Amino acid sequence: MNSIFANNKRKTCSYKRALVQTLTLLITIVFFLSFTSVYASTMLSNLPCVNGQYSLSPCGELLYRICKDDKRNQKSHKEHINTSKFLGEILKTKDYSRIGSAPAPSVNVAWALDGKSFYQAMNTRKASVVAQLSVEKLGGYLPAYFFANPASFTVSAPVTEGRLISTEIMVDGLMSNLGIIPVIERLTVDHYKFIQYGGGYYEYDEVEEERRHIDPEPIKVFESDADSSFQVIKWLYDPYGQPAINVLYSPDTNKLSVKVLKHSRWSKKLNAFSKIELPFKLKIDEFKLFITYEDNVIPNSQNKAWYVSSKDHDTSALYEVDWATGASELLFHEPDFDISRPLYTRRGELLGVEIYKETNQFIPLTEKGKHLNKLINKERPISGHFDTNILSIADNASKVVFEISGNKDKRVYLADLNSNTTQIIADNNISDVSKTIPLWTETSDGGRILSYFTHLTEASNKKTAPLIVNIHGGPFERDKFSKGLYKDELLAKGFNILRVNYRNSNGFGKKLIKPKTIEYQRRVALDVIESLNNALNKMNLAPEKVIAFGLSYGGLVVTDIGTSKDLHKAFDAFISVNGAHNYCELSKRIGFETHQKFTNCTNPIVEKHFEKRNVYHNKPFVIAYGTADQTVLPKQSKNLLSQLKKHSNVKGVSLENESHTISVKALSKLMANF
């Protein structure tokens, strides 16, 4: 495989002449195809791109995007949210002319580091797939234009129980002529086997006079020794798909640490990372490590590393790691909110960080970041709430795709830092269908909880419309201003929605978190109820009914409220979907000792809380479960239904073939009687 890498060692932007020739040919072909393709005659500037994915090529000259096709004039909110056709296309960022298209929904998209091709990674129920698509000649042979031959090659790995498949991680580091899916088989809680699928390459068959893709058999890279003193909670790979680093958790010492593996060409240079050791506070992802690598296939690339951690504060901070010594330096800290992620190029140039407060914000930390922020500020609305999302950064930081998303303004821009200009590349503005308002609640124990109230702007019954209190899962997740699970679908059914970021939700630090207390579950439920009462008061609402709805951990919170002697009084109905009704059983099954510490599962009183419940009302109480859910097994809901079988108002709903996050169709089935 090393010979493949050697053949790819060329400067990222050195193929411009060949690329221009290829683009010219592509434009000619598209002009011809415009007579037969409904999309080829549509100019990009006229197309919205709802929930689009964007990926700039290394030099910023090309942009791949996948769009959810949408009609410009929508007659109703329902039409707007139910469109489902996807359109994939490659665009020239210089003049934004259309040069090709292929219908394809995808989970993740990224360019090869040398810019000659890009990859789509997608997880299905049966397999994970990485497909390579070419934009110029590969290996000196005929190019595979993706509207004529959608994929140069694909690599797939079967999904079986116990396997952790990481296509979303690996697609960001692939080289041209190389597609890899790393598969981690968890043999036991602390015993792993690492298998690599793919690593394919091209050979020219002189007899058949054609180019063939060679796809080797899966390779076992290594198998870890069973070690009960550590749990692997994160795998990091080098640009060639080799496992480079493990992030470990030790239940004995309650610490997070880094282990450098011996399978990467950078292993020796990474040795100092083994000195990183941090105290564990609350959750396994409170330590996030980000690495870029110096390699001659990536011009001006650097060995750089940053991590996000709350080791010294209640909220997370950004640190830079010295490759030589492993020492860290504090770069940025916000006292009231966690850092979501650093924003950097694959060459190792830092621009800034994203922080989600009431809305998502970009905070520049370098001169290049400040330059970008000035361009973003030119496009920001003067007033109102809106998310600023960085969607893609070219490896040379010459261009950046960013989105500004508010109640009405929903536009995607291409920023050119060399010419100091921006242009709209997707105008998703819609009629003022709904409005979301951030609300802060002062809790009875002195905390502050953020929630979002959303209503249809044209509804005549805004104050009296039925209200859904949608409780997110996790518990280490959060609701956001412009996005929320089933938000649009529930709005389309005529509900107002309140989404509550109870304590322990991502982004708000750990000031309110008091793990190992029996009262924690009740305190989360009180956060929900106090936020509800605050919304009713501030928004002057008198809903005809209030429904508690939650999925996963949110389903557990709904169950806690619905089976409480007093807390149920705030609601008229309860819908718990795939609820982790026995969180201790779940954490033991998936091997997260950190979750067990958090919930204090060794305390018999806590275990009893999950195992013995009752209902003290006759209000509708739906306990739904997906029969294909492998995260929270259906038996949890069945056990709860068995506990509550004497109550006629409790109804079990089996959702056939639904997994953990249920489909919109299944949601409609659940809401039919509400």
529-552: pLDDT as tens digits: 999 999 999 999 999 999 999 999
Give the per-residue pLDDT at 328.
93
**Average pLDDT of the chain?**
76
Give the per-residue pLDDT at 110.
75
d(CA 162, CA 192) in angstroms, rounded, equals: 10
Instruction: Give the Å distances, CA to CA, from 469 to 460, 562, 611.
Output: 20, 13, 25
List of domains in the chain? 434-671 (3.40.50.1820)
d(CA 295, CA 301) in angstroms, rounded, equals: 6
* pLDDT tens digits, one per residue of 361-391: 999 999 999 999 999 999 998 888 999 999 9
Does residue 626 surpass a pLDDT of 90? yes
Does residue 91 surpass a pLDDT of 90? no
Does residue 94 surpass a pLDDT of 50? no
Cβ-count burial of 447 within 10 angstroms (0-12 exposed, 13-18 middle, 19+ buried)?
A: middle
Strands 546-551 and 360-364, sheet pairing: unpaired
Grouping H, G, I as helix, E, B as strand and the rest as coil, residue 19 is helix
Give the per-residue pLDDT at 105.
43
Q: Read off the pLDDT of each residue in 298-325 and give the average, rounded to a whole number.
A: 91
Give the per-residue pLDDT at 273.
93
Cβ proximity of 658 and 627 under 8 Å: yes
Residues 130, 135, 138, 141, CA torsion sign: positive
Cβ proximity of 612 and 605 under 8 Å: no
Strands 180-188 and 317-321, sheet pairing: unpaired
Does residue 498 surpass a pLDDT of 70? yes
Best-predicted range by mean pLDDT among 196-210, 271-285, 571-585?
571-585
Where would I find the H helices in 515-552?
Answer: 520-538
Cβ proximity of 176 and 117 under 8 Å: yes
Minimum mean pLDDT range among 293-297, 343-347, 417-421, 489-493: 293-297
Could you give the percent of the chain with pLDDT greater than 70?
70
Cβ proximity of 59 and 112 under 8 Å: no
Give the per-residue pLDDT at 508.
86
Give the per-residue pLDDT at 34.
30
Give the per-residue pLDDT at 43.
35
Give the per-residue pLDDT at 20.
37
- Whose tokens are 């190792």? That residue is 348
Q: Is 507 left (phi over 0), alpha (psi -120 to 50) or beta?
A: left
Which residues fall within 8 angstroms of residue 387, CB to CB, at 6 or more apart? 359, 360, 403, 404, 405, 406, 480, 481, 482
Structure tokens at 107: 């989970």
d(CA 507, CA 571) in angstroms, rounded, equals: 28
Give the per-residue pLDDT at 80.
27
Give the per-residue pLDDT at 433.
79
- Whose tokens are 């304590």? That residue is 503
Does residue 334 surpass a pLDDT of 60? yes
Give the per-residue pLDDT at 281.
66
Does residue 129 surpass a pLDDT of 70? yes
Of residues 3 and 494, the one with the higher pLDDT is 494
d(CA 469, CA 530) in angstroms, rounded, equals: 12
pTM for the whole structure: 0.81
Does residue 647 surpass a pLDDT of 90? yes
- Whose tokens are 């605050």? That residue is 534
* pLDDT tens digits, one per residue of 572-613: 999 999 998 777 776 666 555 555 555 556 566 666 666 678
Of residues 272 and 255, the one with the higher pLDDT is 272
Q: Which residues pair with 329 in a beta bridge?
A: 320
Q: What is the largest CA-CA distance in the chain?
A: 80
Q: Read off the pLDDT of each residue in 175-198 and give the average, rounded to a whole number.
A: 69
Does residue 453 surpass a pLDDT of 80? yes
d(CA 180, CA 200) in angstroms, rounded, equals: 8
Best-predicted range by mean pLDDT among 116-120, 194-198, 381-385, 427-431?
381-385
d(CA 123, CA 119) in angstroms, rounded, equals: 13
